[in-house]
Structure 1
Amino acid sequence: MQVRLSGGVRAARREGGVDLARGLAVFGMFAAHVVVTSPRFEPTDVSTWSAVVNGNSSILFATLAGVSLGLLTGGSAPHTAGLLAVDRRRTAMRAALIYAIGFALWLMPAPVYVILPAYGILFVLALPLLSWRPAPLFAFAGAVAVAAPFVVAAIDASPFWFTLPGAVVSGLVGWHYPFAAWIAFIAAGMGLARIGFERALTVLAIGLIAAGAAVIGFAVVGSSAAQAASAEPHSTGIGEMIGAGGLAIAVICACVLLCRTPFRVIAWPVRAVGSMPLTAYTGQLIAWSVWIWTQDAPVDPIGGFLAVHPFWPMSIATLVFCCAWALFVGRGPLEWGVGAIAKAVAPARLNG
């Protein structure tokens, strides 16, 4: 029997390295949620290396969202005029749909800071950036990375966040991933997509520069005692903004280069997961919520779930599902749904 390989991972327009990086980000976020990791990363102590997923996975996820946005809107040849108008309408609809999915997940009992509401807001904030070229995108990202930590710190200082309404607003806007700062990662990812991945030497050069920025952010800026310079996970300090942002771009570039080799075939299962990150992320939180719903009260939603060591079962189940879906169907179910609705709302052919 001959099996027809559907779209998804095998689609000609897909960049395999970007899918690989997305897959790594998905599993990194799984680990950050359900694995007891070391509280602090020390390069010389292997026992602490599990800490690398904390904060960095979600920032890689956000940077890749920017890459996806850039690729969807023309890649290295950004759309203009009528196509740009279509892109903006579709992106706005994607933002609304992603926010709606995030809101639904936020209502579920899984004790996780859901990132999707922040994504919805970030996509709206990115609308004016869709026509920008790489240089202004990276300049904007750098300026935000340096300035936004002070803005976020001032907002965080408000006693409002320690009230019940404050907690609700925080969840509704995904403030654990503050959009005022995280727009830098979206812009950086868009800048990377605008440069393009066609030339291996260019990708290598960008990756090396980004790796250097990561070292500066974590080891130099982050070593300062000033809170605004912190490189700690989810601190939104300048050290984290530069360090984790640089690391994210370096990882993406490394994945792109790896997928120019036979490793592309070996990495296919992870690439399959990366081709449907919204589905994989949502599935993880639904699985956790279902586990909570099926337990006898009282239940510890964090300690109880971690006690069953869910990382490998969830990861294997995600791999199997995503591989089968990519092989026999194509695009992930949520990715297909969001894309189809966005295209229906903003068809490519404009009247007038």
Structure 2
Amino acid sequence: MLAAHLLAGVLWNWTDPATWTAIADGRSSILFATLAGVSIGIVTGGVSPLTGTAMRTARGRLAVRAGVLYLIGIVLIATGVPVYVILPAYAVLFLLGIPFTGLGARALLLTAAGVALTMPFVQAWLDRMPVWATPTGGDVALLLGWHYPFPVWIAFILAGMGLARADLGETAVQLRMLAAGAAGAIVGYGLDAVSGASEAAERTSVWGAVWTARPHSSGILEVVGSGGFAIAAIAVCLLLCRTPLTWVVLPLRAAGAMPLTAYVAQLLVWAIWAAAALGTTDDLFGFRALAPFWPITLGILGGATAWALLLGRGPLERLVAWLCRVLVPGQAADPR
């Protein structure tokens, strides 16, 4: 996320290590969405879906969480920081995920696969509707988080929910995730390498818009390739944290345990720093020229680590959980 936002955009070329930072472009947000699905799966029962009152409580809290995320997203958009704020899209995706919370792992993963293979065609058609070129359409796109379009991106939420239902703590599950994710990445990116559409073709035909793995295209090859990458990345992290390396990566674990806090902190620091140094918050290239990546990254990792060790749960995560308990009382799973 930090690399995608704060480092200068380059085209990825596997033979040129200087371009490898481009791996974050598009893939970080898809990983973010897949992990959101894992979180939904955990709070609704993990391996065994909740039932009865407990499930109703969990679903109500998911709806509250969606509302809070949406409001925070609007506040961040108002800062003028030149990124596509993902939180409004998150909120929509959380709501869309609620009807699927009673499903098991197999049903969720099959549904995710079905969405991944069909909805890019629908998305390509939707994106060509004239309304998006109007001022009203632009505002609607911003408020819906259309840069992360829910018709396609619900596939990542469902995939993450399916992973949570499959028991992420089991080594065999983690190995199967690694194999399946790597296969998806190879197929998606491989097909794009040999037959993917150019950006010009994406703009001129529906097929071009569908048959691409370009970051943020929502093309079928991006969905398969980057979705597979996200699953493989989660598997690698789980496997590595079975080793003593788990203590080496404590700062990453701490930041990962409070993603909302880290995300909001990044954009607020960006807004304050840019306003002070540049006199405006909307100059992307001017802000990147200030070399903000390492100061912000190290600050977030250090702050998250100190907070986790001294106080535990992240501040915004704690606030959202409290609001959920107050507005939807009852017993349900409460992730840490």
TM tier relative to shorter chain: over 0.9
Residue 200 of structure 2 is matched in structure 1 by none
Contact 1:272 1:326 in 2 (8 A): yes
Deviates more, 1:146-155 or 1:110-119: 146-155
Give deviations 1:61-84, integer Å, cap 9, x for gaps: 000000111111111111111111
Which AA in structure 2 matches 1:231?
Answer: A
Residue 79 of structure 1 is matched in structure 2 by 50
Quick one: distance in 2 between partners of 1:99 and 1:263?
Answer: 36
Match of 1:131 among 102, 115, 128: 102
> Quick one: percent identity of the two aligned structures?
45
Quick one: distance in 2 between partners of 1:250 and 1:70?
Answer: 18
Match of 1:102 among 73, 84, 87: 73
Residue 62 of structure 1 is matched in structure 2 by 33
Match of 1:212 among 163, 172, 183: 183
Structure 2 CA distance for partners of 1:77 and 1:349, relative to 1, 3 Å: closer
* 1:186-197 equivalence runs, <5 A: 186-197=157-168
Match of 1:36 among 5, 8, 16: 8
Structure 2 CA distance for partners of 1:82 and 1:166, relative to 1, 3 Å: same
Residue 213 of structure 2 is matched in structure 1 by 231
Which AA in structure 2 matches 1:79?
Answer: L
Contact 2:108 2:162 in 1 (8 A): yes
Quick one: distance in 2 between partners of 1:298 and 1:326?
Answer: 33
Quick one: distance in 2 between partners of 1:249 and 1:58?
Answer: 13
Which AA in structure 2 matches 1:275?
Answer: A
Give deviations 1:262-320, integer Å, cap 9, x for gaps: 00010111100001000000111111111233246477621211111000000011011
Quick one: distance in 2 between partners of 1:45 and 1:234?
Answer: 22
Give deviations 1:209-264, integer Å, cap 9, x for gaps: 11111110111256333421210000100000010001100000110010000000
Residue 204 of structure 2 is matched in structure 1 by none
Quick one: distance in 2 between partners of 1:255 and 1:198?
Answer: 12
* 1:285-300 equivalence runs, <5 A: 285-295=267-277, 297=279
Which AA in structure 1 matches 2:113?
Answer: G
Residue 153 of structure 1 is matched in structure 2 by 124
Contact 1:325 1:332 in 2 (8 A): yes
Structure 1 runs not aligned, ≥5 long: 1-28
Give deviations 1:127-175, integer Å, cap 9, x for gaps: 1011110111111111111111111111111222122111111110100
Which AA in structure 1 matches 2:169?
Answer: E
Which AA in structure 2 matches 1:35?
Answer: L
* 1:263-302 equivalence runs, <5 A: 263-295=245-277, 297=279, 301-302=283-284
Quick one: distance in 1 between partners of 2:107 and 2:80?
Answer: 41
In the alignment, structure 1 residue 175 sits paired with structure 2 residue 157: no
Aligned partner of residue 348 in structure 1, secondary structure: coil
- TM-score using structure 1 length: 0.88
Return the offset for 1:98: 0.7
Contact 1:109 1:292 in 2 (8 A): no
Quick one: distance in 1 between partners of 2:92 and 2:279?
Answer: 36
Contact 1:43 1:49 in 2 (8 A): yes
* 1:16-31 equivalence runs, <5 A: 29-31=1-3
Give deviations 1:67-114, integer Å, cap 9, x for gaps: 111111111111111111111101000010111111111111111100
Contact 1:76 1:196 in 2 (8 A): yes
Structure with more relative contact order (C-alpha pairs < 8 Å, separation 6 or more): 1
Return the offset for 1:198: 2.6
